[in-house]
Structure 1
Amino acid sequence: MVSPTFIFYFTLTLFLFLNVSKAQIKNSTKTILVDKSGKGQFTTVQKAIDSIPSKNKQWTTILVNAGVYKEKVTIIKDKEFIVLKGKGRASTVIEWDDSGNSLASSTFLLYASNFMARDITFKNTYNLVLEDDVLKKITWAPAALVRGDKASFYGCGFIGIQDTLTDLHGRHYFYNCYIEGAVDFIWGSSQSLFENSEINVKSKEIGVGKAFIAAQGRQSASEASAFVFKNCKVTGTGPAYLGRAYKKYSTVVYYQSSFDNIIDPEGWNIMRQAGNEKDITFAEAQCKGPGANLSNRVKWEKTLSSGELQKFIDQKVFLNQDNWIEEQLKHV
């Protein structure tokens, strides 16, 4: 007869083994290598993504060796838990030339949640190269579209002219990134924090007159969406507006950021929401540099209290209440 003590310890051991195994499976990370010269498992980024099964629950790192990958890349909604990692934003580039649609023309399209990108650049080459010394019509040509929830980008580049970063929906975190453009080149209705990043304005080079950095589309007072720039630097050529409203409750905040002498004295602009200035939240706090002079800003720029400001600049409060950013970093 099997003793009760043996049954107890056997059951306990089995329970612990099964639960440890589940945790290991959940936290394990698979790696796929992409190399355009054929030294990896795939020669294109899209083929590597396509190899990940639908409804994937295992964190998978797609390691992309240095090179310029001329392709359009899409991550569909049911391919979550992907880390896309390059060898540096100067050496690993995904680029494509497409234009005419603020969504579909994107070089990189992310519809899935639970995603991280590191050390890689997304570029739309439309309008970046003169053809017979003539610049093509300035139009929508995004480098990246981000639509899923819980997406983070570290050391990444986003290069284009109009709508460079289509930051559409969800909670997004950008750290130590580089974003370049001229016309509404960070736009959308997402809840995004840009930290320690460079925003480079290219208005002079393309002759578009005044540039517009952020076009944020919060539509109601109950939404949490906003663009927050914390410890960022705005460089390049101007003149440029820090942002312009294209929805009734557009919300953009710059905190402890530095501005080159390229910012239009008024600072802010309205696209289609004239008359709703009281509902728009455009604010600057503790910023510096020759472009940070507030004396001639629009009268409807908001001055936030310390409590109001904290809701935007505190990562935990603004978009990371469930610690999703820390959870993602465990799989790098």
Structure 2
Amino acid sequence: MQPQESRPLTIRTVLGDIPAGELGVCDAHDHLFLRSPRLPGQELDDAQAAAVELQAFRDLGGQALVQWTPRGMGRRRADLVRLARETGVHVVAATGLHQSVHYTPELVQRDRERLAELFVEDLTTAPVRAGLIKVAGGFHGLDAHARLTMTAAAHAHHRTGSPIAVHLELGTGAMEVLDLLCGELEVPPAHVVLGHLGRSPDSRAHRDAARAGAYLAFDGPSRTHHATDWRLFDCLAALAEAGFGDRLLLGGDTTTAAARAAGGEGPGALYLLSTLRPRLARELGEELIEAVFVGNPARAFAAEWRAGA
């Protein structure tokens, strides 16, 4: 790869680029809008409910939300623009593709070059630009679709500088993802965010991924009956004690209407700031909490954006 001209680090929001240092208190993985055939009847498609949720998040001190909803899953980018303007919350949108089970066959049967072009268009020339590429692994490994989409994402990253966010199925396969993206495809690990680490509380795997240089997103408090809540403190404490507090991110990952605080059963994005943040501050200290909610996401989602040519 030829060295790129250095540009200021900025975060690409739906209202335009902002200096990384202006992102503020961030929900690093969530969804205001989402639909999937895997979640029939639970679509996040109510713009008013999204507005209520985002304003309540703002009232609790939230300043930014990163929506990981990729192409073909109801991103509602025009609504994201309106909500960002109305609430003053920085909203970052995604391009990319999820696992093939979330799509009809015609939506996933594209070649790598065409996918990369679509991702680059979303990141650089779309009326509402994405600020990251979302892709997904499989359970303890990578299938052909995952390899295709990650290869396209890597090509788009090299052309634009965009961060890449990865859904890890039940928190597994982190090193397989990093071996492909950062080894074979030469994406710098500091531009990779691994999601759902809390769903597989394997402390050794967490340390290996952090040691490799990726960001680790613990993002499951909105899921009913998941073990992410009671394991979260131990996972974060172990990583912080091992010296990886600068790699940690937190998000709500609200994926269904029932999981919203506004009109649902909760806890939604609000839980991060109303309940989780003060508990974590008491147990792990304010310095780490400032890093997790402010400093780390400001680095994880920043880029030296390029035109994509």
TM surpasses 0.5? no
Which one has the bigger strand percentage? 1
Larger Rg: 1
Which one has the bigger helix percentage? 2
Greater RCO, CA 8 A, separation 6+: 2
Question: Given the two structures, how large is their TM-score scaled by the length of structure 2?
Answer: 0.29
